[in-house]
Amino acid sequence: MMSFLADYIYYIGAFGLILIGFYIILIKHNLIKVIIGLGILDTGVNLFLISVGYITKGTAPIFSGPGIDSEHMVDPVPQALVLTAIVIGVAVLALALSLAIRLYQHYDTLNLRKIREQKW
Amino acid sequence: MRKAVAIVLLIIVTVGISLSLAKIPFGAPKTKVGKRYIEEGIEDTGATNIVTSVVVNYRGFDTLGEVTVLFIAAIGLGVVLTTSKREEMRKIQPASLILYTGCRLLFPLILVFGTYVFVHGHLTPGGGFQGGAIIASGFLLIYLGCRERRINRVVSNLAESLGGLIFVVIGLLGLVFGGYFLFNFLPKGTANALFSAGIIPIVYIAIGFKVGSELAGIIDNLIEES
Amino acid sequence: MTFIVSFLVVFMLVGAVAASAFRDLISAVIAAALVSLIASILFYFLQAPDVAMAEAAIGAALTAAIFIIAIRRTRRYEE
Amino acid sequence: MVNPVLLIAVPLGLAFAIPLFALFWKNAVKYIPPVALGFNLVVSLMLLSKVLENPVIVSIGGWKSPFCINLVAGPVGVLFSVIISLVGLLVSVYALNYIKEGPTEKYHMLYLLLLTGATGVVLTGDIFNLFVFFEILCISSYALVAYLRDKAGIESAVKYLIQGAVGSSLLLIGIGLLYGQFGTLNMADIAEKIASSSPISLFVPMVLLITGLGVEAAIFPLNAWLPDAHSSAPSSVSAILSGIAIEVGLYAVARVIFTIFGAQSFLLFLALLGILTLLVGEMCAFNQNNIKRMLAYSSIGQIGLILFALAIATSYGVTGGLFQLVSHTFSKALLFLAAGYMIYRAGSMEISALEGMGKKMPLTCLAFTIGAFSLVGLPPFIGFPSKFLVVRAALATKETYFFVLLSLVLLGTVIEGAYFFRVIQVLYFKGEKPNPGRKEAPVAALIPMFTLAVLIVVVGIYPKLVTDVLNSAASEFLNRLDYIRSILG
């Protein structure tokens, strides 16, 4: 049990967040709720990427003083990718929220089911 | 109905991903690219924080794109929220004296801390994005505590624009001097010193100002009554 | 260590479910910020201090702030 | 020595400089996108002759290949960057007069950044870098769709943003799975290592990547956003979204399938998806009364056709698909540009409101007609040789199921012809009401329209102009070993 947890707990957390995020996006009608779901989804993806780069008993990839061996450092590449992904995520969220504000001014509701100006 | 479809979809996704996760054991070393960055990062770039050297130097092009994404979001926010007709400002309830004084005391400290974070990005954890975000949270505090204050949009636009331009120009200078875009053409200095790592601190400072002013601009745009 | 991490992960997932369940959007945003905050602690455990800092500053603080500003300008309760 | 990085760095620098310009010369801002795109056009044409022999590969930062980000200016990349800068230049000239309201300098910044993102996607050789440029492309198009800030624009931007953001999350998960398995992000390096992995663990990342990219490429079940977004954006933006953004999405899908995965067994499924996309698009287009929605659905149909042609995966097929892509870009951009001013003068997007436009705006209607004929596939326009090539490629496979699919393609073309002729009939032969006062579109709009029209006719009469480039582009897609070798050495 413990070793299973040690192996998989981060993956479980990451994919749990991803699934909950998807669930919110698919089910909820409120636009702000959907945007919250997007945020949770992003967090999950970031956690997954970081856990891919982890090495057991690793240290952070920073040579902050002398005598740090490079043998057990974790992979720096996913960390760089996640830095990028976090910033992209916040950019999308900010734009989405501004659109939500405008949408509310136009329709006086945020319920996506009620906003049906355009049909197929 | 909708719920059932969603849950079935999610189950399929879960099964699929867990099948391919079997190939990616947690905690095992997997990569030669990361290994090389760790082993030769200091020699190559002069930065002791390997993540910084990857972000700014090895994969600097991603970072340029990422700064652009934030820039686009700030512009897009401006596009979406500008109104043709100006409505009168809503009456602002002033903050209490304690909040006001506290915010004014904290604000310079936050600015200094943010600057510290991005100036030391190549030595310690942190860098342009984190520092910029900290600076932006300082401005957020000002909006909460001293509600009638606004940032000067001209100055923040200037900082955004100059930050981006410095990044691109440094890249192009690398092309001129070294034959590669974003080539680290400045002397790398001794590792662990503040003035080391060539172009990395300069780029990170530019990013810090740019990200800080962009996030502050986003908050300003959102908070403005329109 | 594994125990602490497991506890945090469970707590994080509970936060995410809560963010989905609350009808008050402000509470949902706070729950989502909690998720981000715990994720940032997990990043720290995974030896990624840079990312932890970015997630705490951007993911938890700033995102929650812009959400709250946006909710103040729209409607607080889900219909 | 021309460096392909200039194609990205210079427009990006100019876009960052626009706020500075706006401080001093506010009226000069709108000339920056044409200047930047003209520069790009010149540089990519200079590169074009060079890359037909050998791809130009540059590294960013100056490290060896898998350790840095590569820009790969092969025939495909440069072909696309020529198209992007050419169409972008023409549309930006059109926009000089067309975009008058709202925060115009922001429009010009977003427009330039959108095209820079598109150029970055087609030139990069690194999967994560592709993701970043893809985000630049997507986020600027979300903002541009909402540019008019009216009800329809905001609503469709919201839809587009949500679907696009989910797509990019899927893409990112796929990239993470690939990185976990192969420990590298360079596309050539992944492609080299992929042979050693088991199919089951490759299937999931492939599906995730294709789904993520397919949202932007508007492949069938993922294209709910497209008709709304394309019809409620300003017409110059619709021209770019229809003419460039979805094509770039298709490029990315093709790159993932052909180069990274080399997935032969997946192609038949893709051909089926293409046919489905084609039929759905054409049938919905037939039912529309709104001219921009009709054009948007017709884009979906065309995307389906291109996807079908690419999925044939023979040399003829891929050449035909790329040719069809070029022809769709020119024709659809022309159609949207012409429709833009027709709508502006008529004051409505309904097709019935355009009665008698043939007398009121003869030149614009002529341009519209050329675009429509070309899209349907009539000679002597560019649509004819491209569709002909697709048909020939499908016949050359000698497989029964391709014959069946081909008959569906022809059915789609018939439907397409029907609705375009209906519009042309309305334009020219209806509404005999006395309608004096010719009000033509301004010259700044007519120049790009007629440049496109001339290109359509010239390439249609003399397709040899482009077939060399298309052939070598097709062989870049099909010979993945050459691609890998040229990058990793």
- Each residue of D331-342: pLDDT tens digit? 999 999 999 888
Least confident residue range of B28-37, B175-184, D197-206, D268-277 = B28-37
**Neighbouring-strand partners of residue D60:** D69
**Closest chain B C-alpha to C50 CA, distance in angstroms:** 5
Asked if A45 and D143 come within 8 Å (Cβ–Cβ), the reply is no
- Contact present, D76 and D125 (Cβ < 8 Å): no
Nearest CB neighbour to A81, from listed D128, D139, D165 = D128
Residue B80 CA to residue B59 CA, distance in Å, equals: 32
CB contact under 8 A, A88 and D169: no
C-alpha D135/C-alpha D137 separation (Å) is 5
Task: Tell which of A2, A9, A29, A72 to mutate to test the C interface (max C CBs under 10 Å).
Answer: A9
- pLDDT recorded at residue A120: 44
* Cβ contacts of C14 within 8 Å, gap of 6 or more: none
**CA of B158: how far to CAs of B126, D23, D106, in Å?**
24, 9, 15
C-alpha–C-alpha distance, residues A6 and C2, integer Å: 6
Domains recognised in chain A with CATH numbers: 2-56+72-107 (1.10.287.3510)
Cβ burial, residue D64 (10 Å; 0-12/13-18/19+): exposed
Interface of D with A in 137-156 (CB under 8 A): 139, 142-143, 146, 149-152, 154-156
A88 with B67: CB under 8 angstroms?
no
pLDDT reported for residue D373: 92
Planar angle of CA D168, D170, D174, nearest 5 degrees:
115
Annotate B179-213 with three-state secondary structure: CCCCCCCCCCCCCCCCCCCCHHHHHHHHHHHHHHH
Contacts of B82 (CB under 8 A, 6+ apart): B226, D102, D103, D149
Max CA-CA distance within chain C?
A: 43
Task: State the average pLDDT for chain B.
Answer: 82
> Per-residue confidence at D399, pLDDT binned at 50, 70, 90?
confident
Angle at D334 between CA D106 and CA D319, to 5 degrees: 110
pLDDT, tens only, A84-118 = 999 999 999 999 999 999 899 888 888 888 877 65
> Which residue of chain C has the CA closest to A91?
C63
pLDDT on residue B226:
46
Average pLDDT over residues B74-82: 88
CA distance B42 to B191: 7
Grouping H, G, I as helix, E, B as strand and the rest as coil, residue A62 is strand
Domain range annotation of chain D: 6-488
B156 touches chain D (CB under 8 A): no
With contacts defined as CB-CB under 8 Å, which chain B residues touch C49? 125
Could you report the per-residue pLDDT of B84-143, keeping only the tens digit for each?
555 545 556 777 888 888 888 888 999 999 888 888 878 888 888 889 999 888 888 888
Q: Nearest by CB to B75, which of D102, D128, D143? A: D143
pLDDT in tens, C17-68: 999 999 899 999 999 999 999 999 999 998 888 899 889 988 888 899 999 9
CA nearest to C64 within chain A: A36
Q: What is the ipTM of this complex?
A: 0.93
| CB of D245 closer than 8 Å to CB of D118 | yes
CA distance B75 to B82: 11
Using the 8-state DSSP alphabet, how is residue D221 labeled?
A: G
DSSP, collapsed to helix, strand or coil, labels residue A30 as strand
Percent of chain D surpassing pLDDT 90: 40
Judge whether A5 is closer than 8 Å to chain B, CB to CB: no
Unique residue bearing structure tokens 């801002």: D29
- Residue to mutate among A20, A35, A106, A112, with most C CBs inside 10 A, is A20
- Contact check, Cβ <8 Å, B31/D179: yes
C16: contact with B, CB 8 A cutoff: no
Main-chain dihedrals φ then ψ at residue D196, nearest 5 degrees? -85, -5
**Separation CA C3–CA D335 (nearest Å):** 63
Assess whether pLDDT exceeds 60 at residue D90.
yes
pLDDT tens string D12-32: 999 998 888 888 888 888 889
Residue A56 to chain C, least CA–CA distance (Å):
9
What's the token pair of residue B91?
A: 């009456």
User: What letter represents residue B87's amino acid?
Assistant: E
Query: What is the three-class DSSP state of B23?
Result: coil
Which residues in chain D are closer than 8 Å to B154, comparing Cβ atoms? Answer: 23
* Residue A18 contacts D where some CB pair is shorter than 8 Å: yes
